[in-house]
């Protein structure tokens, strides 16, 4: 009896422990997660947490101090420059380890190892795109340069020291929740992180979609739907600039019309970076400012997540002082300023990723036809680990163009492709992007800035610059392939060298402006130049933000940093300004009744601002979408999903120019619709939707748009911040959309005593259990800034310093 | 008296064990205490149950109050599907309590057998 009792209770105890320690029965190991001494409770950070610490590491060359201010921004002071990167690595890991680990896994196609088979399609796509291949090539270059090698080595050592200090209970929150462990850092992982930024900013292409469109539309329609040039654009480098004779004379292949433009291509649906990834930057010269010194502004528009992509930091070494935001995953300051100058980026957005159709000799993929002979492929075997499953091995054939990304075994979201497509991506080539930041952090003048920029290959950026000596400049820098008109807009034949890139535009031939007469430089992802530039620039550039930025900057005088902050938060919709007159003119008001009349009144009285409480902005947004559908919906209903939708500016220009734009007619009806017919129709359709929105009390723009900042996993709603009261949107300087927008706003006035402001929608800590997890969001949403503090060693006793970390090289 | 001693001893031993061992070492602690101090199975279960209930309640309550319940709000939504930090503390305490109670009952079973012989 006793034995039975003992056995019964023992089995029950062990059974409960197993249930509570695994996911076999419950969806989560509740005992493990909730045990107060080791589980999630340990991540509940004391709101009065003391971050002061004394640490010593043999890798350090000297002593160092980190002064942490009330916003948890570290001010790192070192005796030896590389110690700063060690400490930066340590701090990135301390506050953002899970994010760095996960993002690098995503970059490397190693997600399945954590989340199981549902990550496999992503992992295969990224491996096949050559993300690891490209990162390995970049790493060689990074490690060949003594400066970047040393900074990476120190950074990696710092991250790993922190990882090694972790215990079961101090493991970051998400590791416990998702049930995996951090992996050691390496220089390759920093390279992978930077490659991820290249993916985000320089992998955008629509080759398959355009190819697809071409099989449904004839060439006249293609030009109407996807025009090469936009009339309205106000380019980064103003019209009328004279460019030097090009050193590369590109020539289109002779058979371009018969072969290239008549392809029979299989449609592939692949993963895409967010097309809205873009940014604003501008700088005004002292002529236009109240202080007489330049002001530089930058706000990069990226996916908004928690933890944020950015981590604010000050690095002070004997060589330089730099302040700004850094990438958890890489050493140095990325966007910011030093004691002499400030620098900021917007995406260059040119197409540097092209596809070539490959003909293999047979299914073994060992040889492919190239320049009249069978050429050997090489194979790269990708080993993909999958949680709870055996490894998956993906053998990828490499050609002279690059990896054969799509073939019979893989075609993105679809089943295997009958044809083979190799991808040529500039990010495959060896380059050392860290060097630009290494040089910008210590740049003292225009020459230093220019030299730094010249190192930038991928992702190509419009790099804005302003200096205390009064200089301002912008360079549309990057390693851009020199292309003939139309090259790479569609899939290219890969059976010989005639369609390959014929060269890279020399860095000295990129369009730039240095102290222009107009007293400002700016960029907002619009076309870098108009049609007088000797190289082809591709099709897809948003133009509205550039127009309004330049209009405002032209008119402003006696500018203060406060004016610039207001401008970054400007909600004026210049796109609406352009199309509203045409639309309003074409709504037949006599056919509207009741509610629709009310909405028309709201629209007519709208001040063209997408402010948080604006009802007109919501009416316009819904109306414009219905209008797009009314114009293109009938034609596009007949083509499959993968076909590219025309850009908004295309429709904008079409209706401004020609009220009988071909696509206005509804092809499903007998009669021929006029612009007025479809506009009125669209307004009626909008009215229906608007009345549902009004019943839900979501007519004010911010309520309708419902901006949210999600935790990186996207699947844990409790960790997201929802319904953030903020205006803005597409085409607007304040480019805040639903979960995308200004990820860091910075204004730097280069007066003798620098005056700088910044804010990002997140917080310095990646820990959801910390009060520093999302504490900047309200400030950001309100359009307010923090004063950025380039601390000096003499200010150690300043009240803003709350904690101090001492690092020493001696063994404790 | 035995009950109170068991309870205090189990709580202390559980706390110490969890400083070095996985969370389920509370079962070992409760089991050992029940072996050491003989009680009827029911009382042993109750002392083990209450010991860890009180310990985990106190610990999680203390941690959460210093955190101003920031994390408990989020975790309760994730695990309990309801925003209720106090409920999360109760669930935490209950989970530990059941495991310790059962382990104590197992220990007490062995002890009883020995006495009979």
Beta sheet of A321-326, edge-to-edge order: A53-56, A801-808, A64-69, A74-78, A311-316, A321-326, A335-338, A341-347, A461-467, A472-477, A512-514
* Residue closest to A394 by CA, chosen among A72, A96, A129, A100: A129
The CB density around residue A61, as the number of other CB atoms within 10 Å, is 14
DSSP three-state, residue A257: coil
Q: What DSSP string describes A472-532?
A: EEEEEES--B---TTTTTS-EE-SSGGGS---B--GGGS-EEES-TTSEEEESSS-SS-TT
Given CA atoms A781, A785, A791, A794 in this order, what sign does their dihedral have? negative
**Closest partner residue to B109 among A5, A39, A716, by Cβ?**
A5
With beta carbons under 8 A apart, name residues in chain B contacting A31. 23-24, 95-96, 99
CA distances for A795 relative to A96, A108, A646, angstroms: 27, 43, 55
Distance of CA B81 to the CA centre of its chain: 24
Please return the burial class of A124, using the count of CB atoms within 10 Å of its CB with bins 0-12, 13-18 and 19+: buried
With beta carbons under 8 A apart, name residues in chain A contacting B56. 35-36
CA distances for B91 relative to A112, A163, A175, angstroms: 32, 31, 21
CA distances for A84 relative to A90, A156, A334, A339, angstroms: 10, 12, 15, 17
Q: How far is A93 from chain B (nearest CA, A)?
A: 20
* Residue closest to A271 by CA, chosen among A368, A440, A405, A467: A405
CA distances for A360 relative to A217, A259, A407, A767, angstroms: 30, 19, 10, 50
> Residue A264's pLDDT is what?
66
For the stretch B29-69, pLDDT in tens is: 999 999 999 899 999 999 999 999 999 999 999 999 999 99
* Residue closest to A338 by CA, chosen among A242, A248, A444: A444
Distance CA A766, CA A95 (A): 6
Beta strand pairing call for A321-326 and A335-338: antiparallel
**Interface touch A13/B66, C-beta < 8 Å:** no
**Interface touch B67/A33, C-beta < 8 Å:** no
Distance CA A327, CA A103 (A): 11
Q: Enter the ipTM.
A: 0.96
**CB contact at 8 A, A216 and A479:** no
Phi (first) and psi of residue A487, to 5 degrees? -65, 125
**Interface touch B22/A38, C-beta < 8 Å:** yes
**Interface touch A40/B112, C-beta < 8 Å:** no
Chain A and chain B share a number of CB contacts under 8 A equal to 131
> Residue A231's pLDDT is what?
65
Distance CA A779, CA A742 (A): 13
Please return the burial class of A215, using the count of CB atoms within 10 Å of its CB with bins 0-12, 13-18 and 19+: middle
Tokens standing for residue A809: 């090289």
Distance CA A591, CA A586 (A): 12
**Interface touch B71/A41, C-beta < 8 Å:** yes
DSSP three-state, residue A571: coil
Averaged over successive runs of 10 residues, the pLDDT of chain A (812 residues) comes to 89 95 91 97 98 97 97 98 98 98 97 95 96 98 97 98 97 96 98 96 88 85 83 82 88 83 70 86 98 98 96 98 98 98 95 95 96 97 96 97 95 82 96 96 98 95 98 96 93 94 93 96 93 84 94 98 98 97 96 94 98 98 97 88 83 89 92 94 97 97 97 93 96 96 98 98 98 98 98 96 95 56
Q: What DSSP string describes A432-483?
A: -THHHHHHHHT--SHHHHHHHHTT--SS-EEEEEEETTS-EEEEEES--B--
A565 Cβ contact list (under 8 Å, min separation 6): A745, A747, A757, A783, A785
**CA closest to B75 among chain A residues:** A718
Residues of chain A in Cβ contact (below 8 Å) with chain B: 2-3, 5-6, 8-10, 12-13, 16-17, 20-21, 28, 30-48, 168, 173, 177, 716-719, 768-771, 773
Q: How far is B50 from chain A (nearest CA, A)?
A: 16
Distance CA A482, CA A533 (A): 11
> Residue A230's pLDDT is what?
64
**CA closest to B110 among chain A residues:** A6
> Residue B117's pLDDT is what?
42
Q: With pLDDT > 90 as the criterion, what percentage of chain B qualifies?
A: 91
Is the CB of residue B19 less than 8 Å away from at least one CB of chain A? yes
**Interface touch B68/A20, C-beta < 8 Å:** no
Is the CB of residue B56 less than 8 Å away from at least one CB of chain A? yes
What is the pTM for the complete model shown? 0.96
**Interface touch A16/B56, C-beta < 8 Å:** no
**Interface touch B23/A35, C-beta < 8 Å:** yes
**CB contact at 8 A, A505 and A535:** yes
**CA closest to A16 among chain B residues:** B99
* Residue closest to A592 by CA, chosen among A686, A675, A659: A686
Distance CA B85, CA B83 (A): 7
Q: How far is B46 from chain A (nearest CA, A)?
A: 14
**Interface touch A769/B77, C-beta < 8 Å:** no
**Interface touch A34/B92, C-beta < 8 Å:** yes
Cis before A459? omega within 30: yes
Please return the burial class of A585, using the count of CB atoms within 10 Å of its CB with bins 0-12, 13-18 and 19+: exposed
> Residue A255's pLDDT is what?
84
**CA closest to A46 among chain B residues:** B67
The CB density around residue A540, as the number of other CB atoms within 10 Å, is 20
Tokens standing for residue A517: 């007469």
β-partners of residue A75 are: A67, A314
Distance CA A403, CA A428 (A): 10
Is the CB of residue B90 less than 8 Å away from at least one CB of chain A? no
* Residue closest to A732 by CA, chosen among A345, A280, A300, A302: A280
**Closest partner residue to B78 among A16, A32, A716, by Cβ?**
A716
Beta strand pairing call for A472-477 and A461-467: antiparallel
Tokens standing for residue A599: 């909405």
DSSP structural state of residue A360? B
Containing A355, the helix (H) or strand (E) segment is strand A353-358
Distance CA A343, CA A335 (A): 6
DSSP three-state, residue B19: helix
Cis before A307? omega within 30: yes
DSSP three-state, residue A422: strand
Distance CA A274, CA A550 (A): 25
* Residue closest to A666 by CA, chosen among A623, A633, A626: A633
**CA closest to B111 among chain A residues:** A2
Distance of CA A755 to the CA centre of its chain: 27
**CA closest to B94 among chain A residues:** A31
**CA closest to A27 among chain B residues:** B79
Is the CB of residue B51 less than 8 Å away from at least one CB of chain A? no
Is the CB of residue B72 less than 8 Å away from at least one CB of chain A? yes
**Interface touch B96/A31, C-beta < 8 Å:** yes
* Structural domain spans, chain B: 2-116
Tokens standing for residue A45: 């950070």
Distance CA A462, CA A485 (A): 22
With beta carbons under 8 A apart, name residues in chain A contacting B88. 34
Q: How far is B4 from chain A (nearest CA, A)?
A: 22
Q: Could you give the angle at which helices B25-36 and A2-21 cross, rounded to 10 degrees? A: 160
**Closest partner residue to B66 among A8, A28, A47, by Cβ?**
A47
With beta carbons under 8 A apart, name residues in chain A contacting B79. 28, 30, 33-34
A712-722 core/surface letters (b: 16 or more CB in 10 A; e: else): bbeebeebbbe
* Residue closest to A92 by CA, chosen among A432, A338, A332: A332
């Amino acid at each position: 009896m006793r034995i039975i009792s003992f056995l019964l209770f023992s089995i029950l105890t062990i059974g409960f422990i197993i249930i509570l320690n695994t996911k076999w029965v419950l969806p989560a190991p509740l005992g493990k997660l909730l045990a107060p001494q080791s589980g999630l409770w340990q991540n509940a950070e004391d709101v009065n947490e003391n971050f002061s610490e004394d640490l010593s590491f043999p890798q350090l060359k000297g002593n160092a101090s980190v002064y942490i201010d009330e916003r948890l921004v570290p001010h790192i002071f070192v005796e030896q420059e590389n110690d700063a990167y060690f400490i930066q690595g340590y701090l990135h890991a301390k506050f953002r380890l899970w994010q760095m680990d996960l993002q690098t896994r995503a970059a490397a196609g190693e997600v399945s190892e954590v989340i199981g088979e549902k990550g496999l399609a992503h992992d295969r796509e990224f491996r096949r795109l050559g993300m690891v291949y490209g990162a390995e090539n970049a790493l060689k270059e990074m490690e060949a340069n003594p400066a970047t090698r040393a900074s990476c080595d120190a950074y990696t050592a710092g991250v790993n020291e922190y990882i090694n200090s972790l215990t079961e209970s101090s493991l970051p929150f998400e590791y416990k929740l998702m049930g995996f462990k951090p992996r050691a850092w390496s220089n390759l992982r920093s390279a992978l992180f930077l490659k991820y930024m290249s993916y985000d900013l320089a992998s955008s292409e629509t080759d398959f979609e355009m190819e697809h469109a071409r099989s449904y539309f004839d060439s006249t329609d293609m030009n109407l739907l996807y025009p090469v040039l936009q009339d309205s654009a106000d380019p980064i480098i103003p019209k009328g600039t004279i460019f030097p004779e090009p050193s590369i004379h590109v020539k289109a292949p002779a058979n371009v019309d018969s072969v290239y433009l008549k392809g029979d291509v299989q449609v592939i649906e692949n993963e895409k970076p967010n097309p809205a990834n873009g940014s604003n930057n501008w700088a005004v010269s002292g002529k236009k400012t109240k202080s007489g010194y330049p002001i530089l502004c930058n706000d990069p528009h990226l996916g908004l997540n928690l933890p944020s992509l950015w981590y604010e930091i000050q690095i002070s070494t004997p060589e330089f002082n730099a302040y700004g935001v850094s990438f958890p995953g890489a050493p140095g300051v990325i966007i910011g300023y030093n004691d002499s100058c400030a620098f900021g980026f917007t995406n260059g957005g040119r197409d540097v990723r092209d596809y070539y159709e490959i003909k293999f000799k047979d299914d073994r993929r060992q040889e492919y036809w190239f320049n009249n002979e069978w050429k050997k492929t090489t194979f790269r075997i990708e080993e993909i680990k999958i949680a709870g499953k055996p490894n998956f091995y993906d053998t990828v054939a490499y050609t002279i163009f690059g990896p054969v990304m799509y073939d019979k075994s893989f075609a993105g979201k679809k089943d295997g492709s009958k044809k083979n497509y190799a991808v040529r991506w500039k990010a495959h080539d060896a380059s050392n992007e860290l060097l630009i930041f290494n040089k910008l952090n210590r740049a003292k003048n225009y020459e230093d800035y220019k030299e730094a920029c010249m190192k930038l290959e991928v992702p190509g950026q419009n790099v804005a610059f302003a200096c205390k000596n009064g200089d301002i400049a912008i360079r549309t820098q990057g390693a851009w392939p020199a292309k003939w008109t139309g090259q790479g807009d569609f899939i290219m034949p890969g059976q010989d060298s005639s369609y390959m890139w014929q060269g890279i535009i020399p860095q000295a031939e990129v369009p730039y402006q240095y102290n222009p007469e107009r007293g400002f430089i700016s960029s907002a992802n619009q076309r870098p130049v108009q049609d007088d530039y000797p190289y082809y620039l591709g099709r897809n550039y948003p133009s509205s933000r550039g127009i309004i930025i330049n209009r405002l900057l032209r008119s402003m005088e006696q500018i203060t940093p406060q004016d610039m902050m207001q401008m970054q938060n400007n909600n004026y919709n210049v796109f609406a300004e352009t199309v509203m007159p045409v639309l309003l003119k074409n709504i037949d008001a006599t056919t509207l009744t009741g509610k629709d009349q009310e909405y028309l009144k709201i629209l007519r009285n709208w001040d063209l601002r997408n402010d948080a409480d604006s009802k007109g902005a919501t009416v316009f947004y819904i109306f414009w979408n219905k209008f797009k559908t009314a114009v293109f919906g009938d034609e596009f209903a007949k083509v499959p999903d993968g076909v590219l939708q025309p850009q908004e500016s295309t429709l904008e220009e079409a209706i401004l120019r020609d009220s009988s734009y071909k696509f206005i007619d509804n092809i499903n009806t007998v009669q021929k619709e006029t612009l007025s017919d479809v506009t009125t129709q669209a307004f009626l359709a909008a009215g229906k939707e608007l009345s549902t929105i009004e019943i839900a009390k979501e007519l004010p723009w911010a309520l309708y748009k419902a901006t949210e900042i999600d935790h990186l996993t996207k699947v844990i709603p409790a960790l997201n911040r929802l319904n953030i009261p903020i205006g803005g949107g597409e085409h607007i300087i304040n480019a805040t959309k639903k979960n995308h927008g200004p990820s860091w706003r910075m204004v730097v006035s280069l007066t003798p005593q620098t005056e700088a402001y910044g804010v990002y929608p997140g917080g310095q800590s990646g820990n959801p259990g910390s009060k520093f997890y999302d504490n900047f969001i309200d400030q950001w949403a309100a359009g307010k800034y923090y004063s950025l503090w380039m601390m000096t060693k003499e200010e150690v006793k300043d009240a803003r310093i709350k904690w101090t970390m001492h690092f020493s090289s001696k063994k404790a | 008296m035995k009950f109170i001693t068991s309870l205090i001893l189990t709580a202390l031993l559980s706390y110490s064990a969890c400083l070095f061992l996985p969370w389920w070492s509370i079962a070992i602690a409760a089991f050992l205490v029940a072996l050491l101090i003989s009680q009827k199975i029911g009382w042993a279960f109750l002392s083990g149950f209450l010991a860890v209930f009180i310990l985990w309640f106190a610990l999680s309550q203390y941690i959460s109050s210093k955190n101003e319940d920031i994390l408990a709000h989020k975790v309760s939504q994730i695990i309990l599907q309801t925003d209720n930090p106090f409920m999360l503390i109760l669930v935490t305490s209950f989970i530990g309590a059941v495991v310790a109670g059962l382990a104590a009952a197992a220990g007490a079973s062995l002890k009883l057998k020995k006495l009979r012989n």
